[in-house]
Amino acid sequence: MADTVMDAPVQPSSLADLKRKDLLQGTVQRTELYGAFVDVGLGTDAILHVSQVPGGSRIQDILKEGETVNVWVDKVDHERNQLIITMMEPLAVEWSDLADGNVYTGTIKRLENFGAFVDIGAEKEGLVHVSEISHDYIRHPSQAISVGDEVEVKVLSYSKRKRRINLSMKALLAEPEKEVEDFIEEVFELEEEQEEMPTAMEAAFRRASGGSVKSSKKRGEKKRRGGRRRNDYHDDILERTLDYRR
């Protein structure tokens, strides 16, 4: 899971010391229908609206005067010298914090056939598609990861409107260069074999000119990567055709 907002309450000496999401500890001074006033040690009581108190709608049923509570800074109004607080723990990662390319540490919450859902501390769990888990081919996420694993992920894209976060683990892993080189080598060899194989028309021209139907190259002989191109074959065919007509 993503890192928590704060490990321990801060002890500010003024409003200037505070920023949003700071954790504070205070004492409930009085309750009203719309909320409560909490002393957090600044000489002026912080305002806690009833909508920011979990567990019910009547503030008197939830909080009692003299009770010690943990609260988070929601807004600091320096002009009015007011501090607005909340008892709802803020998200570690909000939509405004997200950006393509951001890297987070998260915890795998569940696995599906199409991918894994990772908690990075945002409102919604992010999805790592099965194709974004590893450079290796895997049929199911469980072949590479398990629920509860802590993983590093990179934000590929996100949509606040759709409440969707697309993540990647593969983007943070080194690409296996050896496998890529082997693949490229196989492609070159395949192209060479295809170039050496005569087409039906080439075979006809070669028969007409007295040549062999088989490739003029010895079997097993390999060309260098920057060697003869297909256009050479066309030139060769044209030259043989002209000789035959002469």
Q: What confidence tens digit (pLDDT) does each residue in 15-32 have?
A: 888 999 999 999 999 999
Q: Which residue has the higher pLDDT, 117 or 198?
A: 117
Average pLDDT on 194-221 reads: 57
| Res 245 pLDDT > 50 | no
Residue 191, pLDDT above cutoff 80:
no
What is the mean pLDDT of the segment spanning 126-152?
96
Give the distance, in angstroms, between the CA of residue 46 and the centroid of all CA atoms in the same chain: 38
Between the alpha carbon of residue 96 and those of residues 3, 153, 166, the distances in Å are: 17, 18, 16
Fold of the 95-172 domain = OB fold (Dihydrolipoamide Acetyltransferase, E2P) (2.40.50)
Which of left, alpha, beta for 55 (phi over 0: left; psi -120 to 50: alpha)? left
Asked if domains 15-86 and 95-172 share a fold, the reply is yes
The highest-confidence range among 49-58, 149-158, 219-228, by mean pLDDT, is 149-158
Beta bridge mates, 26: 69
Over the stretch 71-116, which tens digit does the pLDDT of each residue have?
A: 999 999 988 889 999 999 999 999 999 999 999 999 999 999 999 9
Higher pLDDT, 208 or 147: 147
175 vs 31 pLDDT, higher one? 31
CATH class of segment(s) 15-86: mainly beta
- Using the predicted structure, report yes or no on whether residue 178 has a pLDDT greater than 80: no
Rounded distance between C-alpha atoms, residue 178 and residue 161, angstroms: 42
Which residues touch 193 (CB under 8 Å, ≥6 apart)? none
Of the pLDDT bands very low, low, confident and very high (cuts 50, 70, 90), residue 220 is very low
71 exposed, middle or buried (CB, 10 Å; 0-12, 13-18, 19+)? buried
Radius of gyration of the chain (CA): 34
Tell me, what's the pLDDT at 218? 46
Give residue limits of the domains in the chain: 15-86, 95-172, 177-245
pLDDT > 70? residue 129: yes
